Amino acid sequence: MSESGFPIKPIYDENDLPDHLVSRLGAPGEYPYTRGVYKTMYTSRPWTMRQYAGFGTAAESNARYHQLLAAGTTGLSVAFDLPTQMGYDSDDPMVHGEVGKVGVAIDSLDDMRLLFDGIPLDKVSTSMTINAPASLLLLLYQLVAEEQGVAGPALNGTIQNDILKEYIARGTYIFPPKPSLRLVADTFAYCRAEVPRWNTISISGYHMAEAGATPVQEIAFTLANGAEYVRAALAAGLGIDDFAPRLSFFFVARTTLLEEVAKFRAARRIWARLMRDEFGAKDPKSWMLRFHTQTAGVQLTAQQPEVNLVRVAVQGLAAVLGGTQSLHTNSFDEAIALPTEKAARLALRTQQVLAYETDLTSTVDPFAGSYVVEAMTAEIETAVVELMDRVFAHGSSVEAIETGFQKREIETSAYKVAQQIDAGERVVVGLNRFTLDEEEPYEPLRVDPAIEKAQAARLAELRRSRDAGPVERALDDLRAAAKGTENVLYPMREALRARATVGEVSGALREVWGVYRPSDRF
């Protein structure tokens, strides 16, 4: 019921519109999913509310997860530190000064056990933002679940596992593209057999957007990468409908609310057509573009940081109106440092206000039939398809990456935006307009540098106390699998079970596959 007293219908269609505003959009939950991937969307239950968190040690991050769950978070989202993302142990000289800084340090099964201590893994959905070593972290998670008595089929969550965007925009790659795609395909096959409810990849436009991609570039390059993963899985012998329903996506939500809503609608339509018509998927679940959204960190300002609360609320609203399946709302202080507990709680409360105090969950697809949204959806769809064709003109997304095509396009867009901000043509409140002469002091959360020494001590104790024989045999089995065609996740799992470290497992694969060195042509 509306505030004015008239009823709000769960679904509106062309029959509810004036004659001059009839638009044949299809129904929610039906191809091409312009109006959402599920018939009832949020009228049956809200989106999954995730809060991306992880810092310092596994024990510190575990305490934050318990706080978030107590505050009403419905899904965990793990941030890993750079050494973990790059497949190095915390005591490796390569990573000095980075341990625990931008996420939690995970070196072994011991750390993963601490990270989820007291959290029943059959009751939560966990998303892990990890790419090059994604399979390792998933296996560690599965091993911890086994210790809790939770079998693989009961686990529910997502690994990002999107290595192609790392070559384009982010840089936390390890191996060259070809073996990296082989590892992704092996993960698809492993999860189908062992962890069937797990989302095996979250194909990400978020990081490209953070690097400066426009909404059109974000969608075009992400969907082109998605097509590349599909081709890699098909080439590995997997059936399209065996893995496609577990593909998921990860997008940004900016403050330009109308364009963001149209972007999400266009993305669903393009992916549905691509999967059904080009790849021949028969299962409607294979046609659905399901996605997680994070509000735009790149739009947050260190100046007048409380204004970011307003930005995040608008961005979160765009994600919900666009039909996201899960949402992370950034904390207002993230442009300064890691979020404080209070800031993280306020970010979650923002989602809860949207879900429980507004009427957004009363009806499916509120913007259906809007002149501006439908026109923008069509415009974005056309531009995305044209840009995807430019990518595929190189032969494939990987071949385009190797020429630097996507990277150049994004950098050009980022430069234009920077120029507009510097010239005052693009207003950023608190930064180039409505500024203060003097900023109020703010005490950020800081990570104790002693964490690196503590992690090194834990690793030394682990290596001293474990049985080295099974570790070496398991790593030898992993190297043999990497040289051949066997699925590498099975020997990898046994190495991790024997308490091999993340750095040792990644190192074994480096020995066989090598490391990626970007071309100096771009």
State the alpha helices, DSSP H only, in 298-370. Answer: 308-321, 341-356
**Structure confidence at residue 4 (pLDDT):** 52
The structure tokens 């599909």 sit at 230
Cα 252 from Cα 237, distance rounded (Å): 33
**Mean per-residue pLDDT, 86-90:** 98
Cα 418 from Cα 423, distance rounded (Å): 9
What's the whole-model pTM score? Answer: 0.93
**Mean per-residue pLDDT, 394-405:** 96
Domain definitions of the chain by residue range: 28-399, 466-513
What is the percent of the chain where pLDDT is above 70?
Answer: 95
Which of 241, 130, 165, 169 minimizes the C-alpha distance to 397? 165
**Structure confidence at residue 2 (pLDDT):** 45
**Residue range 49-84, pLDDT digits in tens:** 998 888 889 999 999 999 999 999 988 999 999 999
Among the ranges given (85-99, 351-365, 368-382, 467-481), the one the predictor scored with the smallest mean pLDDT: 368-382
Cα 70 from Cα 256, distance rounded (Å): 32
**Residue range 433-458, pLDDT digits in tens:** 999 998 888 887 787 889 999 999 99
**Structure confidence at residue 440 (pLDDT):** 82
As a CATH number, domain 28-399 is 3.20.20.240
**Structure confidence at residue 449 (pLDDT):** 85
Bridge partners (DSSP) listed for residue 294: 252, 328
